[in-house]
Structure 1
Amino acid sequence: MEEDPNDSSPLLQLIPRNRMSSRQKALLLAENDGDSSPPLYGFLGEPTDLQQMQCKNFLGSCIWRENGSIIYFNNHHCEPFLERYLLLLLSNHDQKDHLYCAVYGETDAAIAETATFFLSLPDAWHTYFTIYSLDNSFDFGALQLPQLIRILKSNPQRRIRLFGGTFSEDQAVILASRPHCLHLELGREFSFHDGGMAFVSALGNRTTSFGTLVLMYERHGYPFNNFPLNRFFELQNAFDKLEICGISPGCAMLPLVTHVNTLVYRVHAQLLPPDDFEDLEIDPKDITLQLFLDDGDDWHEIVIAFLKQVAAAGHVERLCLSLSGDRSLQLDHDEAAPVAKALILCIKRNPKLRCLDLSETAQLIDWRPHLQGIFEVLETHTSLRKFVVKDRTWKQLHYTWLAQLLTRNCNITVLNDKGRMCSNGSTIDKIYAERRNASTSQPGINDPPGSSSLEAQPTKPRKRKTRMH
């Protein structure tokens, strides 16, 4: 008699190999011999939530469902042992706690039903779920519309990732028209059957924000063809936050003018010619721009052109600039000077700017010779609360400039890339201590950095003067 290592489970019971049905054996033993196949369990009752299943106690095991499917659990990426399968991943934001599982079935319909059952169980622990369908291992046409709706509404707090597979027009409409806000990430080989037309049209019909949409297509095809992609970026306030990594070359400028409160944009610098920034009306208020740099790029001209248009926008409240490239691309002093000048103009022209983050530019731009000029413009900026910059190689002169800034502008905090206050350990610490004492004796004398979250603020429509085509 086989011994059950998990005999304490109130919901699952081991199915001995000698009692397996022919259907169970066909799935479980297809690529495994009898001795090495994973243990198979059956349900004694239906779970009411995911935690009740105690999935972590069944890693390396399978659970049989009477519709002709099995769920296989593991704590790392599952190597499929059948051609027809769907991979699922439940995880938390920090990715430290995760659960991989693969759903195998006699039919795609059985896989869809079991995946719906599993993903719809109430789950108070995991903040993400990811669906992988690689190499056409599962036909998403088998996922019925009521099943998709059930998955999306069962745990509305979860962030959803779709990596691989193709959605029909009707499925795309369901995805785009949920009454509650979603956090949706599309990436890798995921696509729409119609190139995204139905999805974009449904987004355009919304009267409330979709929420957050992340498009991650750095190394794979894009889910939209160019026509709906142009329409997509012309949508009026459809999102609170839009995050994009990778884009069709002819559309690379469009994210910067889209009507969205928060934009995170990762793009190869070569797709953003400096001349294309002329007359560009940047719309987002909260911008994170990461430029991937290659040899031969006049990338400092791109940064200058971008900063000038942010200056022209005048409404930006948070700006984070990040540069990724080989150290050999570092600017010399003469090349960095006009970048610093453009940055200073950008700060001056955006009176509502609350946060400026340059910490991920230090490898390629040496800001130290230009800190005095930057600090001087920050001295009189009434809104800025947080300035983030690397300080590992600062000298006493730079801390002298910093002390002057902190003395003249009591609202600003200067942080390094580790999130700690830039300090020489003596003079600067004393200034911050005096501030804390003053703040305690006079509540409200200065707002704490980060006290106002841009993402939490409602998006206010702004009339657009020009369009990109």
Structure 2
Amino acid sequence: MLRCAIFGKTDAAIAETISFLWSLRAEDGGQRKHVNSLLIDFVVDFDVTVLTAKQLARILDSNPTRDYYLAGGAWSTQQAVVMATRPYSIDLKLGGEPFAFEDDGLAFVDALRKRQTPFGSLWITLNRNERGFSRANMERLLKLEVLESIKVTSRYEGRFLEPLSAKAKALEYITEGRFYRPEDFESIEIPAKDLNLTWYLDETGNYNGLLISFLNRVADLGHLERLNLSTSRSQWALDNEFPNISEFPAITKALVDAIAGNQKLTHLNLQDTYFLWYYPPHLDFQEIFRVIENHGSLRSFRISEYPRADPNYSWLKQLLSRNRYITVFDSCGIRCSDGSSVDQMYALNYFFCGSAELMKVSSSLRPTLVATALMESASECFSMQHFCCPTTLTSCVNVCKNISWHGHNGCHDNQYSVILNS
């Protein structure tokens, strides 16, 4: 990260230098997106409005794929319109206590309403004094359909459910649980297919009830494709506020119903939830794994750590034997495994899934691809006894039989011998 400070005799002189430096084009070459980002912050006595609308437009247009984070300054209505009307998708983060729109976001929202093309990604931190965005303007913004992705960190006092109903494909919402009741989630509409929800649970009485009610609503909606659920508590709360353990069977059931009810769900992340971090023995992981066994879309499941109640990994082995597409990760992003037989099962499933994908490839390319798969994967990743289990052998032979018939008519017997003797 490169940090710099700009000094000048006047605010206008500083703005001119800012405009020049920030309009320099970043080098291409496939650099990672987070490297091409710009954090804009100002000391208290700098008047950001001296940066003209033309200068701001030049800064944004010079690097349209850059992430912009405006963390300070009181921005004018003209500048707000520039931010909202770029003729391309933009990744824009607005917020922090020093940040504000001089009209509480009115011009920004009005300009967004007139857009005919997707805006891109917007991340807003809402201040307690509502100076950056008033509640009324924020509610108007959340009803717009031009946002592809929105992240809202709310510091508003009191309930603020409207972000959950934002008409965006992807939504991340960070809020305080103490303002909500379980009944708040019973009928709420959540259009997003990619949902990331974080609750701060200090001073929250019935947070088991909140979680159960939310998961029940997720089960009813049934359209989620990605779900990340997190909770956060201070050390004081961890030491002094404890959940009702007798309600954990209800949490397990609500979670199972949410998974079963969302058959398009591909990624589920629960690694930062209080019930997995601090109370995993009270959850029925066998029930959770059992519903995943029959899930047709789920590809990754992230937990804090593998349950110690199953030291032999028998629950995971059963899951992997019945759902060949799933991978279970811990909080470090490492595959849960016993280091031996589970690794072999992952390798077997990886080969199985790759073989199935070959059927989607042009028939002229299949023989070359299957030979590569056998040479680079099958011979290195698993032992003969695992490969020759009846179910998997039959499945792989069926796949490769189709590959043989479509690839080299008349020589499929030789190809079978390669598969069975690898």
TM-score, scaled relative to structure 1: 0.70
Equivalent pair of 1:317/1:353 in contact (CA under 8 Å): yes
Q: Pick one of 198, 203, 219 that aligns with 1:295.
A: 203
Query: Which residue of 248, 263, 283 maps to 2:156?
Result: 248
Q: Is contact 2:290–2:319 with CA below 8 Å preserved after alignment?
A: yes
Counterpart of 2:321?
407
In structure 2, what residue type is equivalent to 1:165?
G
CA distance in 1, matches of 2:83, 2:301: 38
* d(CA) in 2 for partners of 1:268, 1:413: 31
Instruction: Quote the Cα distance in structure 2 between the aligned partners of 1:240 and 1:291.
Output: 23
SS at match of 1:245: strand
Question: Closer, same or farther in 2 for the Cα pair 1:348/1:398, shift >3 Å?
Answer: farther
Q: Distance in 2 between matches of 1:154 and 1:307?
A: 44
1:331 maps to 243
Unpaired runs of at least 5, structure 2:
361-422
Shift of 1:323: 1.2
d(CA) in 1 for partners of 2:91 and 2:159?
A: 23
1:122 match: 25
Q: Greater share of helix residues, 1 or 2?
A: 2
Counterpart of 2:212 in structure 1 is 304
TM-score, structure 2 as length reference: 0.77
Q: Which residue of 1 aligns with 2:191?
A: 283
1:196-247 per-position Cα deviation (integer Å, ceiling 9, x unaligned): 11101111111111111111346775511121111111112x2121111124
Distance 2:129 2:42 in 1: 14
Task: Note the alpha carbon deviations across 1:289-323, whole angstroms, 9 max, x for none.
Answer: 11111135211111111111111211000001111
Question: Quick check: 1:183–1:211 contact (8 Å CA) kept in 2?
Answer: yes
Q: Pick from 77, 89, 98: which aligns with 1:169? A: 77
CA distance in 2, matches of 1:113, 1:353: 49
CA deviation after TM superposition for structure 1 residue 160, in Å: 0.5
Deviations 1:327-372 (A, max 9, x none): 3445354122211111111111111000111111122442664101
Name the CA shift for 1:440/1:176 in 2 (closer, same or farther; >3 Å): closer
Note if contact 1:406-1:431 (Cα within 8 Å) is conserved in structure 2.
yes
Q: Shift in Å at residue 271 of structure 1?
A: 2.3
Partner of 2:407: none
Q: Hey, what's the Cα distance between the residues in 2 that align with 1:296 and 1:442?
A: 48
Is 1:316 matched with 2:224? yes
Matched, 1:205 2:108: no
Please identify, of 374-383 and 293-302, the stretch whose mean Cα deviation from structure 2 is larger: 293-302
2: distance between equivalents of 1:404 and 1:343?
Answer: 20
Matches within 5 A, 1:25-424: 98-124=1-27, 126-135=35-44, 137-188=45-96, 189-217=98-126, 221-236=130-145, 238-250=146-158, 252-325=160-233, 326-328=237-239, 329-331=241-243, 333-361=245-273, 362-366=276-280, 369-396=283-310, 399-424=313-338
C-alpha change, 1:436 and 1:195, in structure 2 (3 Å) is closer
- Runs of 4+ displaced beyond 4 Å: 217-222
Identify the residue that residue 397 of structure 2 maps to in structure 1. Answer: none
Tell me what 2:351 maps to.
437
- Aligned match of 2:339: 425
User: 1:169 & 1:437 partners in 2: Cα distance?
Assistant: 57
Q: Do the aligned residues in 2 keep the contact of 1:336 with 1:365 (CA within 8 Å)?
A: no
Query: d(CA) in 1 for partners of 2:105 and 2:326?
Result: 44
Q: CA-to-partner distance for each residue in 1:7-34, whole Å, 9 max, x for gaps?
A: xxxxxxxxxxxxxxxxxxxxxxxxxxxx
Q: Counterparts of 1:222 and 1:250 in 2: how far apart (Å)?
A: 16
Count, aligned residues:
347
What is the CA-CA distance between 1:148 and the residue it aligns to? Answer: 0.7
Structure 1 pair 298–440 and aligned structure 2 pair: CA distance change class (3 A): closer
For the residue of structure 1 that corresponds to 2:333, the secondary structure is: coil
Aligned partner letter, 2:310: Q
Rounded to whole Å, the distance in 1 between the matches of 2:51 and 2:127 is 27
SS at match of 1:180: coil
Deviation at 1:268, TM superposition (A): 0.9
Distance 1:387 1:397 in 2: 19
Which consecutive residues of structure 1, in runs of 5 or more, have no partner in the other structure? 1-97, 447-469
| Contact 2:128/2:157 (8 A) holds in 1 | no
Aligned equivalents of 1:270 and 1:321: distance in 2?
Answer: 17
**What is the CA distance between 1:141 and its match in structure 2?**
2.1
Contact kept in structure 2, 1:327 and 1:364, CA below 8 Å: no
Hey, what's the Cα distance between the residues in 2 that align with 1:101 and 1:397?
Answer: 52
Taking only aligned residues, the RMSD between alpha carbons, in angstroms, comes to: 2.1
